[in-house]
Homo-oligomer: A and B are copies of this chain.
Amino acid sequence: MQEKIITGKDIAERMKNVKHKIVVTSGKGGVGKSTITALLATHYAKKGYKAGIFDADFLGPSIPKLFGIERKAKELTIGESGITPVYSDRFGIEILSIQFMLPSRESPVIWRGLAINTAIRSFLGSVDWGEIDYLLFDMPPGTGDAILTILDFVELDGLVMVTTPQDMSVSIVEKAINMAKKMDSEVLGIVENMSYLECPKCGERIYLFGEGRGVELSRKYGIDLIAEIPFDLELMDYAERGRVEDYEVDYFEYFYY
C-alpha cells in the first residue's frame, strides 16, 4: 500500500461503493464519540444495512476494543483489491483501525499531523469496503489534521456532533460546529451523551454534568437533537467487555438518516 501514491481520484473511486458517509465528531475528547459510533453502526446493522467504521483516531483508537476484535488483527489483509477490513463478530460490521497494525494494544503511534494526514489518505484510497450502505468515521478530538483531511477528500452526507452536558464540553463542541460551517459541511444532528446516571441502589437520577445543554445547543444552531443518552453502567460494562453489539437499547430509533 505504500508503493503507490494515493490521489484524490483513488479515494473517490473507493467511495463510489459507499452509499452514506457520516463523520462522528465532537471537538472535545472523552465524550463518547467511539461508543456512539459503535452504537450507530450497530443500529444500522440491526436494520439490515451493511455498515462499516473507519477508525480515524490513530493516536487513541478505541473501536477494536469496543467490539472485542483486537485479536482479529491478522484478518486484516492487503491483497490486489486493497486492504480488507475486519468484520465484527455479531453483525459483520466492517472495521478498519490502525490498531490492527500495531504490535500490541499498548504500542503508541507517535506521529505528527503530516503522517496522520498521509496515513488517512492512504487508507481512504486503499480499503476495499465492497458495497456498503453506511460508513461511519470515528474521529479523534480536535479540529486538526484528521478531520480536515477527511473533509478534504470525502464527500460526506454530514457530521454527527457528540457532547456531554457540561459547559466545558459544550463550548468546545461549538468550536467544532463552527468549523463545520466554515467548511460547508452539514451537521446532521447532536447527540448528548452521559446526560444523567441512575443510582443503582436508590434510583436517584444524578446529573453528572448539569442539565439540558443538548437542547440549548440544538436551538442555538438550529440542529436536531438526535438522542440524549444516559450514563448507563450496563453500557459501560458491555463496552469494557468488547460486547457493544450485544447492548439492547437503540438510541437511534428516531434518527432517520
Residues of A within 8 A of B (CB): 27-31, 34, 59-60, 62, 65-66, 105-114, 116-117, 140-145, 148, 164, 166-169, 171-172, 174-179, 182-183, 197, 199-202, 204, 206, 208-210, 231, 233, 236, 239-240
Min CB–CB distance A37 → chain B (angstroms): 13
Is there an interface contact between A112 and B199, defined as CB atoms closer than 8 Å?
no
> Is A59 touching B143 in the complex (CB atoms < 8 A)?
yes
Contacts of A236 in B (CB 8 A): 166, 208-209
Q: Complex: how many Å from CA A169 to CA B179?
A: 27
**Chain B residues within 8 Å of A178, by CB:** 106-108
Residue on B nearest A60 in the bound complex, by CB: B172
Contacts known (A30-B31, A107-B175); A112 close to B60, Cβ less than 8 A? no
Complex-state Cα separation, A142 to B29, whole angstroms: 10
Compute how far the CA of A29 lies from the CA of B139 in the bound complex, rounded to whole angstroms. Answer: 12
Q: Can you name 16 A-B pairs with beta carbons within 8 Å?
A: A27-B108, A29-B141, A30-B31, A30-B141, A60-B141, A60-B142, A105-B174, A106-B174, A108-B178, A108-B179, A110-B143, A110-B144, A111-B144, A112-B114, A199-B199, A208-B231
Q: A110 with B60: in contact, given A28-B29, A31-B30, A202-B201 (CB under 8 Å)?
A: no
A65 in contact with B168 (CB, 8 Å): yes
Which of chain B's residues has its CB closest to A181's CB? B108
Chain B proximity of A36: nearest CB distance (Å): 13
Q: Which residues of B contact A60 (CB under 8 A)?
A: 27-29, 141-142, 172, 175
B27 touches A59 (CB 8 A): yes
Query: What is the bound-complex CA distance between A62 and B169, given in angstroms?
Result: 9
Given contacts A200-B206, A202-B199, A236-B209, contact A175 B30 (CB under 8 A): no
Q: Which residue of B lies closest to A240 (CB)?
A: B167
Query: Nearest-CB distance from A163 to chain B (Å)?
Result: 11
Point out the residues of chain B lying under 8 angstroms from A239, CB to CB: 166, 168
Verify B65–A112 contact, CB threshold 8 A. no
User: Which of B109, B166, B171, B233 is within 8 Å of A106, CB to CB?
Assistant: B171
Cα(A30)–Cα(B31), bound, Å = 6
Residue of chain B at shortest CB distance from A140:
B142
